[in-house]
């Protein structure tokens, strides 16, 4: 192969925040100056070695990075095909990959002199991570959460309150994650002076998709180094679950120019892609504009946003990060889906075989690994992002299995 | 930009109002709220009730810049089956009897984008629409719809806000035409009352950058507020108060059409008072 890579996949977005035709800055005028200010501050921080050093220090001593790359030996034997490795971001402080991004944004907010942090949350993982970092730095924290999610994620609501955050239940629209995002944007418009909006995924107006990706790319950078150490070569496939897509983007991005590495983003097929009750924006949606960016969305023929469904509240969002939309269209990443049932099966198998209770989000990724690994030769390697732990999900799973706790 | 495109009903209206020494009442309602028939009756009667310009909201499930009143108006309209085609049909029917009152379609980008930008601009122009306000299309995204709209002969109304400082204003005013919509608060529609002193300072500052008429909105509810804020610019925009009146009248089993027109009349009266004071 030619060493020159004129067609690199890692040079996006352009200066307008576009990944191909996706992304952009589709926000109300009130927010435009704030977004431009954020972009400027982010560029400066990124070029500042002391910012990166501070972030690295917190990632090491507060989060517990690097997270291990673990060979799932019994699962590999059970499936009888490719070797399966887990990138164990579920071992991070707060139990998921969300904290990687939150720490970066909170350090940036401090640098910008912002004193009030707002966030949206679905499953509550991003809310807990934000509340955690705000507690650590003594910042006011307000988390918007759909009423429906407040009800089904009580343990995380209580966690956020223990951490000193104010949790605001959102009763507008469909009362889930997309409405929490709307409400956070409304808060930001009303509190422009002192407030920093800490978005939890690789979506929203530029520069959020790029910035969040950069904070999450530590997952992929570590995984690359670790697999080279363990196997002496790059993996054949990467697999990660996709809601908004931040854990997947973080794992994939450092490998995008490694042509031999195939990538699979696993969307939530809910009760099935043909039932209309799913959260698969790419496989079951089409391009539109919402929450500041153009991307694939779940909507009706009039462009009205429809409700997503997934057993996993963290995947229950009717959109996806714009970089994924682009990677889909150019064919660099394969987007596939797993149903609620398949994720539940993977959840139980992983618990029993590996002694790791996965969150329902990576259980979707694991469900796809279960489909692909047996069809691959034994010398092939899969790296899957175990992006969250399942403690928060035991109530949901028990309910689906008909067990009363 | 306004010099390069043909004059629209919006330009004509402000010329006439200036000659009469009057301020514009810009009335917002959501198309199809609470249902198509009632909404059409409200729309048709607004000019006689004193509205000089009408903003017709294109309902959307996720109106990020709107407060609860207009969110609920959108939800009522969508629940009653409102579509983009029905909204455009409302404008066509209105135009059968009124060829002077400007209509501005206001909303969010996704329903327009999904309808198809080219098809939308063509159909809107053909229906008798004069201008567009698309909340989530800032100047940075002008290639999407603003430039094509100007080329179709539709004004693309810009929003200036308290965060539009002197560094930002030229960007906002580039490609602006028709009028400038001054968002008088940092916040969503219909939530807090604007501070007249701060608005006066901002409008005076913006006047140094543009000759476009300036209409003030986002918190105007009463005839008294209309009078105070109207005196500071060339007009006021009232939306949340009107759609709340629809909801309340309907809740009490009253006549929503009459209630909205009554409030519009009172607001227009208030504005006439403002014109006399200046």
DSSP A234-268: --SEEEEEESS-HHHHHHHGGGTT-TT-EEEEEEE
Three-class DSSP category at B158:
strand
User: Which of B61, B64, B172 lies closest to A29 in CB terms?
Assistant: B172
Question: What would the two tokens of residue B186 be?
Answer: 């940092």
User: Which residues of B are designated catalytic?
Assistant: 55, 66
Locate the chain A residue with the closest alpha carbon to B135: A28
User: Which of A185, A191, A290 lies closest to B110 in CB terms?
Assistant: A290
Nearest Cα of chain B lies from the Cα of A155 at a distance, in angstroms, of 28
CA-nearest of B35, B38, B30, B34 to B59 is B30
CA dihedral A363→A366→A370→A374, nearest 10 degrees, is -170
Q: Please report the domains of chain B, with CATH numbers, ordered by start residue.
A: 10-277 (3.20.20.70)
- The model carries a pTM of 0.96
Q: Is residue A273's pLDDT more than 70? A: yes
Quick check: A290 contacting B, CB < 8 Å? yes
User: Which of A186, A289, A290 lies closest to B188 in CB terms?
Assistant: A186
Share of chain A above pLDDT 90, in %: 91
β pairing state of A334-339 and A292-297: unpaired
Nearest Cα of chain A lies from the Cα of B141 at a distance, in angstroms, of 7
Q: What is the pLDDT along chain B (278 residues), one digit of tens a residue?
A: 444 688 999 999 999 999 999 999 999 999 999 999 999 999 999 999 999 999 999 999 999 999 999 999 999 999 999 999 999 999 999 999 999 999 999 999 999 999 999 999 999 999 999 999 999 999 999 999 999 999 999 999 999 999 899 999 999 999 999 999 999 988 888 888 889 999 999 999 999 999 999 999 988 999 999 999 999 999 999 999 999 999 999 999 999 999 999 999 999 999 987 655 54
β pairing state of A116-121 and A195-197: parallel
Contact A16 B140 (CB under 8 A): yes
d(CA A293, CA B205): 32
| Cis peptide bond upstream of A13, omega within 30 | yes
C-alpha distance across the termini of chain B, in Å: 30
Q: Is residue A2's pLDDT more than 50? A: no
Quick check: A302 contacting B, CB < 8 Å? yes
Nearest Cα of chain B lies from the Cα of A174 at a distance, in angstroms, of 9
Locate the chain B residue with the closest alpha carbon to A185: B64
CA-nearest of B56, B86, B106, B37 to B250 is B37
Report residue A1's pLDDT band, with 50, 70 and 90 as the boundaries: very low
User: Which of A24, A173, A290 lies closest to B141 in CB terms?
Assistant: A24
CA-nearest of A217, A262, A263, A221 to A240 is A263
Q: What is the DSSP string of A12-77?
A: -S-TTSEETTEEEEE--GGGHHHHHHHHHHHHHHHT-HHHHHHHHHHIIIII-PSPPEEE-HHHHH
| Segment A383-389 mean pLDDT | 97
Greater pLDDT, A313 or A140: A140
B-chain residues near A191 (CB < 8 A): 186
Quick check: A298 contacting B, CB < 8 Å? no
Quick check: A304 contacting B, CB < 8 Å? yes
pLDDT value for A399? 93
| Segment A230-249 mean pLDDT | 98
B-chain residues near A182 (CB < 8 A): 62-64
Contact B158 A29 (CB under 8 A): yes
Quick check: A154 contacting B, CB < 8 Å? no
pLDDT value for A185? 94
Segment A303-350, tens digit of pLDDT: 999 999 999 988 889 999 999 999 999 999 999 999 999 999 999 999
Question: What would the two tokens of residue A315 be?
Answer: 């995947």
**Tokens 């208030």 map to which residue?**
B270
Contact A304 B61 (CB under 8 A): yes
d(CA A386, CA A365): 8
pLDDT value for B274? 64
Locate the chain A residue with the closest alpha carbon to B87: A302
Contact A189 B186 (CB under 8 A): yes
A-chain residues near B111 (CB < 8 A): 302-304
Contact B68 A172 (CB under 8 A): yes
d(CA B277, CA B38): 36
d(CA A86, CA B31): 52
- Helical segments of chain B, H only: 9-20, 36-45, 68-79, 84-97, 109-115, 117-127, 146-152, 169-173, 196-207, 223-230, 240-251, 256-277
Locate the chain B residue with the closest alpha carbon to A302: B111
Tell me the count of A-B CB pairs closer than 8 A: 117
A-chain residues near B139 (CB < 8 A): 32
């Amino acid at each position: 192969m030619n060493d020159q890579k004129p067609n690199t996949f890692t040079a996006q977005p352009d200066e307008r925040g576009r990944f191909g035709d996706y992304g952009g800055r589709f926000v109300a005028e009130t927010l435009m100056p704030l977004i431009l200010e954020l972009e400027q501050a982010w560029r400066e921080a990124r070029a500042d070695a002391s910012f990166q050093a501070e972030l690295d220090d917190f990632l090491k001593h507060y989060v517990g990075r690097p997270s291990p790359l673990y060979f799932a030996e019994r699962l590999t034997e059970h499936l009888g095909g490719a070797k399966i490795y887990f990138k164990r971001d579920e071992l991070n402080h707060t139990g998921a990959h969300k904290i990687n991004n939150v720490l970066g944004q909170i350090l940036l907010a401090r640098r910008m002199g912002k004193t009030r942090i707002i966030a949206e949350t679905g499953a509550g993982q991003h809310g807990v991570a934000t509340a955690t970092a705000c507690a650590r730095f003594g910042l006011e924290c307000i988390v918007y959460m759909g009423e429906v999610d407040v009800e089904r994620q009580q343990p995380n609501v209580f966690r956020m309150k223990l951490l000193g955050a104010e949790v605001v239940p959102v009763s507008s629209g469909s009362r889930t994650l997309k409405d929490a995002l709307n409400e956070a944007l409304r808060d930001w418009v009303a509190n422009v002076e002192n407030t920093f909006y800490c978005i939890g995924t690789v979506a929203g107006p530029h520069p959020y998709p790029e910035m969040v990706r950069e904070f999450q790319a530590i997952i992929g950078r570590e995984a690359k180094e670790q697999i080279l150490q363990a196997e002496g070569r790059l993996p054949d496939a990467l697999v990660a679950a996709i809601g908004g897509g931040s854990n997947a983007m973080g794992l994939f991005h450092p490998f995008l120019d490694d042509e031999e590495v195939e990538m699979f983003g696993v969307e939530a097929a809910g009760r099935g892609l043909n039932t209309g009750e799913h959260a698969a924006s790419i496989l079951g949606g089409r391009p539109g504009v919402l929450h500041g960016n153009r991307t694939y969305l779940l909507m009706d023929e009039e462009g009205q946003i429809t409700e997503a469904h997934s057993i996993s509240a963290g995947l229950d969002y009717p959109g996806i990060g714009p970089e994924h939309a682009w990677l889909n269209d150019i064919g660099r990443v394969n987007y596939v889906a797993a149903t609620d049932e398949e994720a539940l099966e993977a959840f139980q198998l992983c618990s029993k075989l590996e002694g790791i209770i996965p969150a329902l989000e990576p259980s979707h990724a694991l469900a796809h690994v279960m489909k692909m690994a047996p069809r691959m030769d034994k010398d092939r390697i899969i790296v899957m992002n175990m992006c969250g732990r399942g403690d928060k999900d035991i109530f949901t799973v028990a309910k689906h299995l008909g067990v009363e706790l | 930009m306004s010099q390069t495109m043909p004059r629209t009903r919006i330009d004509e209206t402000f010329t006439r109002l200036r000659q009469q020494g009057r301020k514009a009442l810009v009335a917002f309602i959501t198309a199809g709220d609470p249902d198509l028939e009632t909404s059409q009756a409200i729309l048709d009667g607004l000019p006689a009730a004193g509205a000089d310009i009408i903003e017709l909201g294109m309902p959307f499930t996720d109106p990020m810049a709107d407060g609860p009143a207009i969110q609920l108006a959108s939800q009522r309209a969508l629940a009653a089956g409102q579509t983009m085609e029905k909204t455009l049909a409302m404008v066509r029917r209105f135009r059968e009897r009124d060829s002077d009152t400007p209509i501005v379609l206001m909303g969010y980008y996704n329903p327009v984008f999904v309808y198809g930008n080219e098809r939308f601009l063509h159909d809107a122009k053909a229906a008798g629409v004069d201008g567009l306000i698309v909340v989530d299309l800032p100047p940075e995204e002008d290639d999407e719809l603003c430039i094509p709209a100007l080329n179709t002969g539709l004004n693309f109304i810009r929003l200036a806000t308290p965060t539009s400082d002197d560094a930002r204003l030229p960007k906002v005013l580039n490609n602006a035409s028709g009028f400038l919509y001054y968002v008088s608060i940092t916040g969503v529609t219909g939530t807090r009352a604007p501070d007249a002193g701060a608005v006066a300072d901002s409008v005076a500052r913006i006047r140094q950058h543009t000759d476009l008429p300036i209409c003030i909105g986002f918190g105007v509810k009463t005839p008294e507020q209309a009078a105070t804020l109207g005196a500071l610019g060339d007009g006021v925009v009232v939306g949340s108060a009107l759609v709340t009146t629809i909801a309340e009248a309907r809740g009490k089993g009253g006549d929503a059409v009459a209630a909205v027109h009554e409030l519009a009349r009172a607001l227009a009266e208030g504005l006439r008072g403002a014109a006399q004071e200046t």
